[in-house]
Chains A and B, each alone.
Chain A
Amino acid sequence: MRKKELKLVVTFHTTADAMAMEKFCKEQETPGRIIPVPREISAGCGLAWCAPLEDREKIAAVMKETGIEEEAMHECMV
């Protein structure tokens, strides 16, 4: 298994939110990808957005601009 790194993990209420997130981030070239929600996080939607920690503000801005509501933002080893 590859070594885990500390990442930003955003969880969502619905799959539609996760898809909207992926779409907007791709459009704005904000790095990250969809991952299954890690076990240590309790989340609604099984899909999460995983991004480098340093992009936290950028990601928060994308979400605010597009009206995507996160269920939670975590920092965890992924």
Chain B
Amino acid sequence: MESTMIYMDNAATTMHKPKEVIDAVVAAMSSMGNAGRGVNEASLSASRLIYDTREKLCRLFGAEDPRQIVFTANSTESLNIAIKGILNPGDHVIATMLEHNSVLRPLYEMEKKGIRLTIVKSNPEGTLDLADIENAIAPDTKMIVCTNGSNLTGNYIDPEPIGTLAREKGIVFVVDASQTAGVFPIDVQKMKIDVLCFTGHKGMLGPQGTGGMYVRKGLSVRPLLSGGSGVQTYSKTHPTEMPTALEAGTLNGHGIAGLHAAVEYLEKTGVDTIRAREQDLMWRFYEGVKEIPGVKVYGDFSTKNRCAIVTLNIGDYDSSEVSDELLTEYGISTRSGGHCAPLMHEALGTVEQGAVRFSFSHYNTEEEVDTAIRAIRELAEE
């Protein structure tokens, strides 16, 4: 099965990684010391590589200073740091129905600690109206959290208008770029993003366990963790200087070596080239399935600019059954059921049925897409 598997679950994680990424991790595992913990060459080589990765990410995201790039394990950790480290009881926060549980659950937790939460509604096709966000702003609004791309529908949300609005009102703007980093152009300064949360293992093509966040210079974030930092050993408190302030404990140096190679691959191949290829495959699939009787596709396909995700259902079939048939009969890997985005399912009316998500990588082929279209056609006819 493995050799012939057609992998279309790239929004969960990109399984096919560039060879350079794998080689970099392997090389790091036989040469890398603990960054910032010594002046031996092994430690220094880790420190240098990690710093160089900060610089690359700083460039990729248009940040003002590499020291404002913090490494975490994934978007979830970054979002938790942002939400729990910036908000205080009494603050008002605005989020949207498009958000993932990695945003919603920390917010619900903070709600119990006394923050006030407004969730802006989604249109039936999974889009947002800027006016709804604007109308939700109150004098005590401290933060707006919004995804850059829905993991369920693939709808792309342009951060710039929201960022402009937030900046005008002095509101912290946090963006969840889990689905977009590495695939869509992100410029935190131009888009007026205060905190950008990203993961390394999806569109960035790096290893799982890598990720990070950009924090605008001057914005103070309470750390979730304190501990070893390689600096200020005799101080009873964790250092406050960035990026160390938000990086307690040994970093995932081996993973970051892979992320370093992954960003080099993105630079070399071009984010725009990768996105164009993914979108071509996504549109080919969409055009192939949208007219099939009984197939319902979710999301906004009126714009070309969207993540390479097509989510659908066939008739009243349980999405898990469809996904299972796709795997066992056609060797196609998809995701079904709920997608950690409960409010988005509510908006789409798919809480009970779930949905089958096809998510594409630039490594997928036209042939694979055509097999998937044929599979959906055959399943819909049954």
Contacts and interface: CB of A to CB of B under 8 A. Distances in A.
Interface in A1-55: 12-20, 22-23, 34-36, 42, 44-47
B41 to A, nearest CB: 10
B230 interface: yes
B51 A16 contact: yes
Nearest to A11: B231
Given A14-B231, A16-B51, A34-B44, A46 B65 contact: no
A42 B234 CA distance: 9
Interface in B77-94: none
Given A46-B38, A47-B39, A16 B244 contact: yes
7 closest A-B pairs by beta carbon, nearest first, are: A15-B36, A19-B51, A13-B241, A45-B231, A44-B232, A14-B244, A36-B39
Interface of A: 12-20, 22-23, 34-36, 42, 44-47, 67
B44 A46 contact: no
B54 interface: yes
A17 B67 contact: yes
B238 to A, nearest CB: 11
Nearest to A45: B231
Contact of A15 (B35, B65, B66, B235): B35
Contacts, number: 68
Interface string B16-51: 000000000000000000011111000010011011
Given A23-B51, A46-B231, A15 B244 contact: yes
Contact of B66 (A20, A44, A47): A20
B233 to A, nearest CB: 8
Contacts of A17: 67, 241
30 contacts: A13-B231, A14-B67, A14-B239, A14-B241, A15-B36, A15-B47, A16-B54, A16-B243, A17-B67, A17-B241, A19-B51, A20-B66, A22-B48, A23-B51, A23-B52, A34-B44, A35-B39, A44-B231, A44-B232, A44-B235, A44-B239, A44-B241, A45-B36, A45-B231, A46-B36, A46-B37, A46-B38, A46-B39, A46-B233, A67-B65
Contacts of B244: 13-16
Given A36-B38, A45-B36, A16 B232 contact: no
A10 to B, nearest CB: 14
B244 to A, nearest CB: 4
A27 B99 CA distance: 43
Contacts of B50: 19
Given A15-B244, A45-B230, A46-B231, 4 more contacts: A13-B241, A19-B50, A36-B38, A47-B39
A46 B230 contact: yes
Contacts of A36: 38-39
Interface in B47-81: 47-48, 50-52, 54, 65-67
A67 B66 CA distance: 11
